């Protein structure tokens, strides 16, 4: 085009060529290429307007006037074609993307129970089969119920084992264990015998690590009646372990200390993953700790309203998340509250 001399006929021929090419365009991308070729900064019509100075002086006004008219006509034709193409493309998109109501719907993914909820329900079932009822107690407690009535006097060293979330009122706190429910249950059921489990969330002001969280579930157990002995505690918990981890699973009890039980013990179960041979999860001992337990301390019985010379009882406490970790070889407790679907969908 630059090599050809510009004339009125060349201008008209270019306009005719442009309109013919415009009518043949069927998509927006080709339309933009057309605009660039004829009306863009380096387009044919634009370049002709810039070369008006090459014409004889007397021809310049008429040529320039006609070139501007053609440019306006082409721009108008471009806008009309652009709108037509846009409407056609939208119609095509709507027709291709239309919903066929006769097709079956996409399946909706089913929700799953959280692994903690699953193990809690299993625990509830086992203890219900053994004659225990569920007793709900509150998450917010007083220092009296959480510590003092459970034989934790002020400045007792065992309080250091449970870093506590206190409110602005130093007597009100988030419970650090489910054991305060023992006092509530005893004061409610007295003088009747008691067989209850007390599940719930506990809170401790601890550093979050692979083995510790600031919130976790516990399931407390309490039995109070006449002539209840440590052998009853051992038999009951051994039966629970075999129902939870499988018949024939070996258990053992180790002496321990808790202010609210005397004597106190911790219960181990034969490692589920290595069957007692020793592995990384059981630290090559062949045993896994699953709960703490003991005979209810006479002072705690008395604080609950029961005469310790007539009544006796046992208590135990277990962590559902810990049991889930042991059963499935999970090594980081943070997975339970991380909301990572890759972990949760495995259960």
The percent of residues above 70 in pLDDT, for the chain, comes to 96
pLDDT recorded at residue 340:
83
pLDDT score of 7 more than 70 = yes
| CA distance linking residue 112 with residue 32, whole number of Å | 52
pLDDT recorded at residue 210:
66
Bigger pLDDT: 309 vs 54 = 309
pLDDT in tens, 61-88: 888 888 888 888 888 888 888 888 888 8
Q: Which pLDDT band, with edges at 50, 70 and 90, does 107 fall under?
A: confident
121-125, 239-243, 296-300, 342-346: which range is least confident on average? 342-346
Q: Which residues contact 223 (CB under 8 A, 6 or more apart)?
A: 132, 193, 194, 195, 232, 233, 236, 313, 314, 315
Q: Which pLDDT band, with edges at 50, 70 and 90, does 265 fall under?
A: very high
Mean pLDDT to the nearest integer, 194-215: 83
Domain-wise residue ranges, the chain: 8-96, 115-344
pLDDT in tens, 32-48: 888 888 888 888 888 88
Mean pLDDT to the nearest integer, 106-110: 82
pLDDT recorded at residue 231:
95
| CA distance linking residue 168 with residue 140, whole number of Å | 13
pLDDT recorded at residue 162:
65
User: Exposed/middle/buried for 218, CB within 10 Å: 0-12, 13-18, 19+?
Assistant: buried
pLDDT recorded at residue 342:
84
The 10 Å CB-count burial string (b at 16+, else e) for 254-292 is eeeebbbbeebbbbbbbbbeeebeebebbeeebbbbbbb
Q: pTM of the predicted model, to two decimals?
A: 0.65
pLDDT recorded at residue 281:
66
Q: Which pLDDT band, with edges at 50, 70 and 90, does 211 fall under?
A: low
pLDDT score of 111 more than 70 = yes
Domain 115-344 has CATH 3.30.930.10: yes
Mean pLDDT to the nearest integer, 81-104: 80
The percent of residues above 90 in pLDDT, for the chain, comes to 35
Q: Which pLDDT band, with edges at 50, 70 and 90, does 3 fall under?
A: low
pLDDT recorded at residue 180:
93
pLDDT in tens, 130-172: 999 999 999 999 989 998 899 888 777 766 666 888 888 878 9
> To the nearest whole number, what is the mean pLDDT of the chain?
86
Element (H, E) at 7: none
Q: Which pLDDT band, with edges at 50, 70 and 90, does 195 fall under?
A: very high
Strand-pair partners of 198: 220
pLDDT recorded at residue 186:
96
């Amino acid at each position: 085009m630059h090599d050809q001399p510009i004339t009125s006929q060349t201008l008209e021929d270019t306009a005719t060529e442009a309109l013919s090419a415009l009518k043949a365009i069927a998509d927006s991308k080709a339309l933009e290429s057309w605009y660039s070729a004829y009306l863009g900064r380096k387009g044919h019509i634009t370049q002709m307007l810039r070369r008006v100075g090459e014409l004889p002086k007397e021809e310049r006004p008429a040529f320039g006037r006609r070139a501007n008219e053609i440019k306006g006509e082409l721009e108008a034709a471009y806008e009309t074609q652009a709108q037509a193409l846009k409407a056609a493309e939208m119609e095509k998109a709507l027709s291709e993307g239309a919903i066929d109501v006769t097709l079956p719907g996409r399946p909706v993914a089913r929700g799953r129970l959280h692994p903690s909820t699953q193990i809690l329900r299993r625990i509830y079932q086992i203890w219900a089969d053994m004659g225990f009822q569920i007793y709900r107690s509150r998450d917010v407690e007083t220092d009296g119920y959480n510590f003092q009535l459970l034989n934790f006097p002020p400045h007792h060293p065992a309080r250091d084992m449970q870093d506590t979330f206190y409110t602005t009122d130093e007597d009100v706190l988030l419970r650090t264990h489910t054991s305060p429910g023992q006092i509530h249950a005893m004061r409610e059921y007295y003088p009747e015998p008691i067989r209850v489990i007390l599940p719930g969330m506990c809170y401790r002001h601890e550093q979050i690590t692979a083995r510790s969280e600031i919130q976790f579930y516990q399931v407390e157990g309490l039995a109070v009646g006449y002539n209840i002995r440590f052998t009853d505690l051992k038999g009951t918990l051994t039966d629970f372990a075999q129902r939870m981890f499988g018949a024939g699973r070996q258990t053992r009890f180790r002496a321990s200390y808790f202010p609210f039980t005397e004597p106190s013990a911790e219960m181990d179960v034969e490692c589920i993953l290595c069957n007692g041979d020793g592995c990384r999860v059981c630290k090559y001992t062949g045993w896994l700790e699953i709960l703490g337990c003991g005979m209810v301390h006479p002072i705690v019985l008395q604080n609950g309203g029961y005469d310790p010379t007539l009544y006796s009882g046992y208590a135990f406490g277990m962590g559902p998340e810990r049991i889930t970790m042991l059963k499935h070889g999970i090594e980081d407790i943070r997975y339970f509250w991380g909301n990572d679907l890759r972990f949760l969908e495995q259960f």
